[in-house]
Each structure stands twice: as structure tokens, then as C-alpha cells.
Structure 1
Amino acid sequence: MPRKDVEFKTSDNVILRGWLFTPSSSNGKLPCLIMAHGWSAVKEMDLDAFAEHFTSKLPITCLVYDNRGFGASDTAKDQPRHEIVPSLQMSDYSDAITYAQSLDEVDGRKIGIWGSSYSGGHVLYVGAADKRVKTVLSQMPLVNGFENFVRLVRSDMVPGMIQMWEDDRKGRAAGKDPIVIPVVSNDPAAPSALPTPDSYEFFTAWEKKSCWKNEVTLRSIEHLRSNDPSHLIHRLAPTPLLMTVAANDVLTPTDLALEAYSRAREPKQLHIIPGGHFDGYRLPRIAILAFGPAHITPALRACCVEVTALATGFRHTVTMEHDSLAILLCPGSWHTTRHYDSFVTHAKDLYIQVDVAIPPNEEGQVTDDDFEIHVRNASQQLQAFMKDDKNVLLLAHSFGGFVACEAVTAASHVSAGRLLGIVFVAAFAPEYGRTFADLFAGQPAQSWTAIEASTVPPLFRPR
């Protein structure tokens, strides 16, 4: 995808440098996703891969830049490099928005922001404070610096750390250079900013092939402890939030992110990926979620693998290897496969196998016998996927909601681990004890619409 070097000036006159990615072919102004990396990382550490994938699959642009004092970007006059001041990095996001809005390639009304790890927390605040933002993508975020600090730093080492902060302040006031410490270390007893084994593995690998340097100012740790970027998360709405959390994150702990997410208001979407903090960066198992179509059109798809619920404001997204994911689409009555051609084509572009449970009656006149055939056909296809070791998502449209639920109970070899879920797209799903007829005129239940059992609600048991 076309990429050009760009630079822009912040409100305090610091030059930030980065890249602007655009699709190979595009017409007119496009939405823009603004991306900055996390703690001490530089843009060469796979942000180019993220942006290239986005712009190769979608008509959007991506503005990627290095944080101040890191990589290609400058720092403020008389300020040290490799110092992380969260309030300044948050302000820089807003300045990046202003710059993006000035570009000929960008539709300034359609701006999204993406952040990961430390910047994953930043975007929670920026999205709440800067209403030019139309969607927020937060990946493995640091949501509460104080709580995160006490998880990472042993309690017996805290007094020494506080004393170091005091000594550093006195030294700076006396004209001495700032104290710096390693970002990572293989010695668990040595001071470092990110004292986890997976941090050491990730950053040392990139040190060998990028301009990343293993140092950060000591004051950056002091700033981290006082940083609480999720304190306005309840004010983010109605801007949509998509948060990705690693199930076993020990760097920005999973439970802290989930607690912050619980305070966010709708519209919001939570996506949990397997693994730890840095699994979110490992292509193709990356967990970047999408714009809601009400805000960015067409929606930004997930890198590599995404399952799209077309009627929702967000995308239901599953991250796994390409060849393990399949979608079984249960269509609406009066629908044939051609009604879903655009969805099937898009899914194939993302290397996702899609089968449509074809209605037995092209005329669309559903009878009791036809319903049994629908269910039997869908359950057989579901079982076939399972036998091929596929992870299956049932996507139900309209009348297909009945079929999808019944197919789950009718299939005799459904593995709970292989069935990812059922996504209802404008589909029928009456509550237990109600009928299809109840949805209209309160007429008595028809034989194929009564809801008589429920193990994965709502399930429909025709008799």
C-alpha cells in the first residue's frame, strides 16, 4: 500500500514524524485511523504491518506516528528523550487528529483512534475528552497506573523506588542529567520499567532489528504510577468503544482492564484473545477490532480474521488461525444464496470459509416439513465442520434464527469449544415460552415454532 513520510507540529511546537498509509486505489476523502505505539515502542515495531493490512482491505487511511522523544520524533526543547509523560502523549493524539483533518486524503468527520498497551489507555481518555473521535480501539490497555504499578513492583522495592524519584528530582533541579533505567532486564532483581519475562522477550527481539533503545527515564515510572486514563471511561459514550484484552495478561493485568470496561457505557464491545500481553502483536493472531458502520463506512475489518454481524453497531470478532474458522449462515425465509453473495465474498477475502444452509424450497414457502429439512440440513453442515476441526460461528438471519438454535440441539457431535456462538442479524429469537405467532398476533403456537426447551438460550424444540 502507498506510504509516505509525514510530520506535524504539536500544540507545544514539537515535531512528530510518521507515515500516512492510503489504499492503492481510492476516490475522494477517506476515513482515517490514527495509531501510536505503547510504552517506549517505535512505529517500526509492527505498526506498519497493521496499517498496511487495514488499508489493503478497506477504503481508509492510517496515520501512524512515533511518540515524542522516541523513534523519528523530536522532543520538547530542553527536555530529555525517552521520557514518557502520559498527559503529553494524550495531547499529541488530539494534535494528530487536527493534522489528519487537514489532509486532502482524509474525511475529517470520520476519525478513529487506536492504541495498544500504554497508548491503549491513552485512547480511552482522548475518546472521552475529544469528541472529534468517532470510534476508539483499545488493545491490552493500561487502565490504572497505580494499580498496575503495585502489580509489577514488589512491595519491598517500592520505598527504594520512591527514594530514587526524590533523588532524580533533586538532581535535575541541580542541573544533572535525568536518571534512566532499562525498559526490560533479564535480571528480576534489577530495576526495570517492565519487569516481566514476556516483556524482555518481546523488546530484546525488536532491539536487534529496529531503532528501539532499552532505556527510559526514571520519572516516566513516576508518571506511570499517577496515570489513570480510564477515569473518564464512563464519559466516552456515545463514541463506540472496542476493547481487546488478553486472557492471561500479566503486564497490564486482565482483571484491571475488565473492571474498566465494566464502567464504560454502551455502545461497547469486549474481545478477549487467548495468551498474554504481546500475543496481540503476533501476526496473524492480532486482535484489532472494527469501526461501527454508523460512524465509518464501510466498517474497518479485523486484521486477518473477523466475523461480521452486519446489523450490529460493532463486529463480533474471533481471532485464530485462518484455516480453523468457518461460518455457517442460516438464511432468512424467501432468501437464496445470492442474497448473501457480498458477505460471502468479503469473508473469503479474509480467508474465512462460509457455507450457506440453503433453503430447500426456492419459492420460500415454509411448511412444517420444510422447517425440519432446514434444521436437518444446517445440523449436518455444522457436524461436518466439527469433524473437520473447524471453529464454527452460526450466523442467523431472519427466519434463520429458529434454524440456527434448533441446529445446535439437533447436531449430535457439537463441541462446546468448537461452537463459538450464534450471531443474530435481524433474526427471530423469541424468549422461552413464547412462539413465533406471539410476535405478531398472539395466535396459538404452530408446531414448528413452539419453544419447549433451552440449554443455550434461546433454543427452539419443534415437535
Structure 2
Amino acid sequence: MSSKNSERSQPSDIYFNSGDLKCSAYLYRPDQQLPSPIIIMAHGLGGTRKMRLTAFAERFVAAGYACLVFDYRHFGDSEGQPRQLLDINRQLEDWKAAIAYARQLSGIDHSKIILWGSSFSGGHVLATAAQDSNIRAVISQCPFTDGLSSSLVMNPVTSLKLTALALRDRIGAVLGNEPVMVPLSATPGNTALMNAADAHSGSLELTQYDPDYKNYVAARFALDIIRYYPGRQAKKIKAPVLYCVCETDSVAPSKATLRYANQTPEKEIKRYHYGHFEIYIGDAFEHVVNDQINFLKRTVAI
């Protein structure tokens, strides 16, 4: 492990091992001497830690919580070739590696590990917590919970184009070819993983915080998304879960999310009139982050 900055008031730029590669992360510590709870955080579909996750982390740290904010392998500042490879199983492995790293940190209360995910990672934290009974609490923000529901919001013609690209990419990978890339977001009518009316403009709002952001991933991912149902595991989670649900969500339909949320043994459900991408910025951010801090104070005391 390495650290470039040991000042407690500023995040340290660290890495931890996931498999045989390194995930880059920011480690924030609150200005206190007692062992701190820690919140582990990562972004959604193709996102990086710089895309407003630091804004959430800064608010959590001010409330007394340490934060570990990481980039998945193949994205951001983390290792991994080919770049922009979005692999569900590898990302879930990265979550487990981040938890293992947090559990060996000094100055951390290892009995108080919290998972925070948004959009695609909002599903990852549900799947991860369902398999780890020692997680203390979970925050799942505008979460992806149901592959079929998310796929059905896509125009059928666009879905067919994505499938063709995905097959070409998957076959090419077997033959050792360079990945076939597909845009993460685009305007309506254009081929992308997200092309709802608010998807591209909303993505651009966030990408300004990471000038190195790449608006594409290996197309093979389109074959996997429809088979991923992290919401089905919510009923196995022992920790309290806060669901922050965007009622007008154009990417992760709220109807499916609410169905799974209501099956969660210990849950709190907050419903918002914000869109999927609004929740990271401005008044919507203030509203949601305050709800999240209040949830943390009630469930995981400092």
C-alpha cells in the first residue's frame, strides 16, 4: 500500500490490491482521535471517483465518518487493460477488495463499515452487503436493481444495435482484437447505453469534474446488463439500508427499485422528484446528502 499525503484534513491518494491489479482511491479521515466508522464509495456506470463523489465524501467526513472512494479496475486512475472494460463480476470483486482494505486500516472502527453506491454501484452495494453480514449500513442512491427493467426503457432499435456491437466485441475479444467501444451516453435516437432525454446532458454535468473521463466502454457489457438483478438479493441484507429513489428516474426505473426496497428487512425509503442525474448537484444534492447524514447518525453513531 502507498500514500502520497498523510494530512488527516485532506484525502490521501492511496491504492489497494484487487486481484493482481491496483485500485486507486482517496482515503478521507475526520479530524478526531477516536476510531472512525468508514464509508466505502464508488461510482456508477463508467463513472470515476472525481465525478462528484468527493462532494459527498467531504460532507460525510465533516460529520465524523472516514471515507474510502475508489475507482474500479480498468477505469479512472486504477490499473487494468484493456481500458474501459466494464465487467460486473470484476467490479464486485473490487468492492470486496475495498472492504478487506478498510478492515486492516488503523484508526478505523472495523465494526462500522458502511457501503455507499449510486446508480450502477447502488446495485453493487446491495449485492455486496447481501453476502457480508458484517456490513453495518448501506446507502443505495438511485440504484440499478433490475436488468430487464433498465433494458426495457431503451428503444428496441437501439437495443438491437447494442446487441450487435456487443457480439462483435465479445467475439473480437476471443480472437485477441481491440475492444469495440460504445458510448455510455448520447442524445435520444443515438446508440449508447444511456440515451434518455436527460442522460447525455446529465452526464456532461458530472464529467466536467473529471477532464480525463471517457464516454465509452467495451460494448460486450451490453450482453451482461440484462442478466444482472442485484435487487433480488436485498431481502438477504442484515444491515439497515437507506434507499434514495428518484421517482422520475430514466435509467434505473423506480418501480422495480421500490419493489425490491420493500422486500429489504431493515430499510428506510426516501423518494425524490429529482431525475437520475440531478441528485449529484445543487439543491438536489443538498437535500439528499442531508438525508443520508441523518440516516448515518441514527444507524451508525460516531
TM-score, normalised relative to structure 1: 0.59
One-letter identity of the residue aligned with 1:98? A
Alignment of 1:133-282 (within 5 A): 133-152=135-154, 154-186=155-187, 188-210=188-210, 211-236=212-237, 238-265=238-265, 267-282=266-281
Indicate the residue corresponding to 1:81 in structure 2: 83
Asked if 1:28 corresponds to 2:34, the answer is yes
The CA deviation at 1:251 is 1.2
Cα 1:126/1:159, change in 2 over 3 Å: same
Indicate the residue corresponding to 2:300 in structure 1: 296
Cα 1:45/1:231, change in 2 over 3 Å: same
What SS class does the counterpart of residue 109 from structure 2 fall into?
A: strand
The CA deviation at 1:137 is 0.4
Q: Following the alignment from structure 2 to structure 1, what is the Cα–Cα distance between the partners of residues 159 and 61?
A: 45
Determine if contact 2:145/2:230 at 8 Å carries over to the other structure. yes
TM-score, normalised relative to structure 2: 0.90
Determine if contact 2:115/2:135 at 8 Å carries over to the other structure. yes
Cα 1:225/1:239, change in 2 over 3 Å: same
Indicate the residue corresponding to 1:385 in structure 2: none
The percentage of counterpart residues that share the same residue type is 28
Indicate the residue corresponding to 1:119 in structure 2: 121
The CA deviation at 1:226 is 1.4
The CA deviation at 1:156 is 3.5
Indicate the residue corresponding to 1:38 in structure 2: 44
One-letter identity of the residue aligned with 1:144? D
Q: Following the alignment from structure 2 to structure 1, what is the Cα–Cα distance between the partners of residues 216 and 297?
A: 41
The CA deviation at 1:99 is 0.5
Q: Following the alignment from structure 2 to structure 1, what is the Cα–Cα distance between the partners of residues 57 and 161?
A: 41
Asked if 1:5 corresponds to 2:7, the answer is no
Asked if 1:131 corresponds to 2:133, the answer is yes
Q: Following the alignment from structure 2 to structure 1, what is the Cα–Cα distance between the partners of residues 207 and 159?
A: 28
Indicate the residue corresponding to 1:19 in structure 2: 26
Determine if contact 2:27/2:67 at 8 Å carries over to the other structure. yes
Determine if contact 2:165/2:220 at 8 Å carries over to the other structure. no
- Cα RMSD between the aligned structures? 1.7
Kindly provide the CA deviation profile for residues 252-285 of structure 1, in whole angstroms up to 9, marking residues without a partner as x: 11112111112212x2100011221112101342
Kindly provide the CA deviation profile for residues 126-149 of structure 1, in whole angstroms up to 9, marking residues without a partner as x: 111112211010000000112211
Unmatched runs of 5 consecutive residues or more in structure 1: 299-463
Kindly provide the CA deviation profile for residues 352-394 of structure 1, in whole angstroms up to 9, marking residues without a partner as x: xxxxxxxxxxxxxxxxxxxxxxxxxxxxxxxxxxxxxxxxxxx
Alignment of 1:322-341 (within 5 A): none
Indicate the residue corresponding to 2:64 in structure 1: 59
User: Segments of 4+ in structure 1 off by > 6 A?
Assistant: none
Q: Following the alignment from structure 2 to structure 1, what is the Cα–Cα distance between the partners of residues 208 and 269?
A: 34
Q: Following the alignment from structure 1 to structure 2, what is the Cα–Cα distance between the partners of residues 239 and 80?
A: 36
Indicate the residue corresponding to 1:110 in structure 2: 112
Determine if contact 1:135/1:241 at 8 Å carries over to the other structure. yes
Cα 1:149/1:22, change in 2 over 3 Å: same
The CA deviation at 1:204 is 2.4
Kindly provide the CA deviation profile for residues 77-122 of structure 1, in whole angstroms up to 9, marking residues without a partner as x: xx42111112221221121111011111211111000000000011
Q: Tell me which of the two structures has the higher relative contact order, counting C-alpha pairs closer than 8 angstroms and 6 or more residues apart.
A: 2
Cα 1:65/1:235, change in 2 over 3 Å: same
Determine if contact 1:123/1:136 at 8 Å carries over to the other structure. yes
Q: Following the alignment from structure 1 to structure 2, what is the Cα–Cα distance between the partners of residues 43 and 220?
A: 21
Cα 1:208/1:240, change in 2 over 3 Å: closer
Indicate the residue corresponding to 1:307 in structure 2: none
Larger Rg: 1
Query: How many positions carry a matched residue from both structures?
Result: 288
What SS class does the counterpart of residue 44 from structure 1 fall into?
A: coil
- Choose from 53, 64, 81 the match for 1:47: 53
Unmatched runs of 5 consecutive residues or more in structure 2: 1-8
Q: Following the alignment from structure 1 to structure 2, what is the Cα–Cα distance between the partners of residues 22 and 191?
A: 42
The CA deviation at 1:191 is 1.1
